[in-house]
């Protein structure tokens, strides 16, 4: 049996947790309908009250769906759900994994499912429960481009930025890991800033308000992600002047912050590393001997 040629996909969703539940709630509006599965009956009841149908197992979910989204805890749970779905999914169906799993797991699942005519897309999400509830998730999809194009209208019910990260299963996860590297390194840098401010007698709650205010205007760390390469910038490139200015301003302010930290006895290892690496990272390294 193959899936219907009708473009109205029957959606399935497995994993109705903190993000899965509000994301699945957005899928209730799908023209082909939504069937859900979770081990928590309360979560299932919330979705059926909103208009979804309930499946009593991954197998019955697979039988009722053309595209199944999975949002469970880890690689092992994803594998368990796929094992349950695969015998009943029709050839031509799609599995879309929203859990952040190892890229190798995505590749392995894609190869296994391809033997049954089922396409696996890894599609991790960014934006959290609030983004899911508001339909404002960023969804980074790795895998076959034609399958991505087919799945995109359904995914757009829950995300306002759907990106094809690459043709290989696992590419969505690779993009998500790079995104989250920035996220958590930035969080660690935030703790350094808080330690410096606290040691200097500054109210760190007020500092937080200032940071959130100005990041909303400037775009925060992502504001410099404007180029399609990390190579050094040619002197005649438009971005050379822009990033030279960012480098000069950044190094000046980092030196002043580190001087303050030294005077207060506060260790800022990320700050020191930033002063060392900023210029090269921006693509405008200083010539030897320049300061």
- Distance, in Å, from the CA atom of 45 to the CA atom of 64, rounded to the nearest integer, reads 18
DSSP-derived letter for residue 117 is T
Q: Is 152 labeled as catalytic in the residue annotation?
A: no
Phi, psi of 201 (to 5 degrees): 80, 20
Round to whole Å and give the CA distance between 37 and 99: 15
User: Residue 185 is encoded by which pair of tokens?
Assistant: 């390194």
66 contacts 94 by C-beta, under 8 angstroms: yes
Beta carbons within 8 Å of 64's beta carbon, 6+ residues apart: 10, 12, 35, 53, 55
Contact yes or no for 174/153 (Cβ under 8 A):
no
Round to whole Å and give the CA distance between 235 and 20: 48
Q: Which of 133, 152, 176, 206 is catalytic?
A: 176
Residues 55 and 35: beta-carbon distance below 8 Å: yes
Which residues are catalytically annotated? 176
């Amino acid at each position: 049996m193959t899936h219907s040629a009708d473009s109205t996909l029957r959606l399935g969703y497995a994993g109705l947790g903190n993000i899965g539940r509000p994301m699945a709630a957005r899928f209730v509006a799908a023209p082909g309908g939504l069937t859900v599965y979770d081990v928590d009956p309360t979560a299932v009841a919330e979705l059926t009250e909103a208009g979804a149908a309930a499946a009593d197992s991954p197998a019955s979910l697979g039988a009722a769906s053309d595209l199944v989204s999975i949002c469970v805890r880890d690689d092992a749970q994803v594998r368990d759900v796929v094992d349950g779905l695969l015998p009943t999914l029709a050839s031509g169906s799609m599995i879309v994994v929203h859990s952040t799993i190892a890229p190798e797991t995505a590749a392995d699942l894609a190869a296994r499912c391809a033997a049954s005519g089922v396409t696996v897309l890894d599609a991790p999400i960014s934006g959290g429960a609030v983004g899911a509830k508001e339909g404002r998730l960023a969804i980074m999809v790795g895998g076959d481009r034609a399958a991505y194009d087919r799945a995109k209208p359904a995914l757009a019910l829950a995300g306002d930025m759907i990106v094809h990260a690459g043709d290989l299963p696992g590419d969505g996860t690779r993009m998500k890991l790079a995104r989250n590297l920035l996220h958590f390194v930035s969080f660690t840098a935030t703790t350094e800033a808080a330690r410096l401010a606290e040691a200097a007698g500054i109210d760190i709650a007020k500092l937080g308000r200032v940071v959130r205010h100005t990041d909303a205007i400037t775009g925060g760390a992502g504001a410099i992600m404007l180029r399609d390469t990390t190579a050094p910038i040619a002197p005649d490139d438009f971005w050379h002047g822009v990033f030279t200015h960012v480098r000069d301003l950044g190094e000046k302010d980092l030196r002043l912050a580190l001087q303050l930290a030294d005077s207060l006895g506060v260790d800022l290892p990320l700050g020191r590393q930033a002063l060392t690496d900023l210029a090269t990272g921006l693509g405008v390294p200083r010539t030897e001997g320049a300061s």
